Amino acid sequence: MSINYEFAEANKDGHKYVMITGYEGKVTDLMVPDVIEGVAVEVIGNHAFSGRQDLISVTIPESVRTIYGFAFHNCRNLRKITLFDSIDDYYDGVCRQCDNLEEVEITVNNSWYEVIRNFLADNDKTLRFLIHSKKSDDEYSTSCLVFPEYVYDFNENTMARTIQFSIAGSGYAFRECVDRRKIDYRQYDSLFAKAIIDGGEIAEDIAIYRTLYPMELEERFGTVYEKYIRDNAGRILERLVKKCSQSMNSTDSVSLLKTLIQRKGLFNADVMDKAVELSVNMQNTVVTALLMAENGSKRKDTVSEFVF
């Protein structure tokens, strides 16, 4: 079992590079190397991993400059892609029909957000981006943005010989917040009301991740997000507890739950009691212990506030 590749030469300057063409054998967590036989890996080829049902995660090194068309097309179990902003050329259909793709983690070293725009243009499903933006040589700021899905609807008017189309869902508007050189966080946050119309889980996730990763988050928007979490606390905790028990990547789910419930003022003791009861019924001892410990702390704080 090994990665398949071939050597090539660049047209502009003639330098030698490696193009990845596939993988022989089964692989669930693909780590693309940055160097093969002393030569830099710069390209992932056409249909290199198209149609693979074994892939769950893919990590692409900073050496890669080009991802050719349909490289990961129809990888229906692919859930996460990790890469850098080093991608100069992103061809059509790279992650088309990757219906279970949830998260793209990207390290932005050169203030180049074009690759995020390309992923969003290539996939109309809900996508979450964990973005590490370089501030200095050894310092990064992290944001986590959820982009809702959207649907194009085409209607043909045969009498008028015209085709009319409409866009359903807020996802298209959210995608307009990403430019080649920046992300307009204010514009993103101002669209939250539209996300609420789309549905509960999408709005919940936007509020959760903006609260936990408040990069360039204005206080007025932060207040809106926190209020939304408090107003929907029971439903949010129920969903997260269930996800911890059902998720393939339960470690990440538990970590998210732990970080969220430790935020002061988001979940009261009564809501936590119901979450504990649900976790007990689902026989998830790890989550039950976590919730009980945090709930005990909340009740102590409540008593202290009452006494003083």
Q: What is the pLDDT of residues 237-276, one digit of tens each?
A: 999 999 988 866 677 889 999 999 998 889 998 999 999 9
Long-range contacts of residues 160-169, Cβ cutoff 8 Å, at least 24 apart: 169/198
Contact in structure between 74 and 51 (CB atoms under 8 Å): yes
Tell me which of 283 and 301 has the higher pLDDT.
283
The domain ranges of the chain are: 247-308
Residue 167 sits at the vertex; the CA angle it makes with 164 and 170, to the nearest 5 degrees, is 165
Predicted model pTM: 0.90
Chain-wide mean pLDDT for the chain?
90
What tens digit of pLDDT does each residue of 128-179 get? 999 999 998 889 999 999 999 987 555 565 665 565 554 557 888 999 999 9
- For residue 299, the model assigns a pLDDT of 53
One-letter amino acid identity for 93? G
Q: For position 170, what pLDDT does the model report?
A: 80
State the Cα angle at 157 between 151 and 163, rounded to 5°: 50
Non-local (6+) Cβ contacts of 183 within 8 A are 113, 116, 131, 143, 145, 177
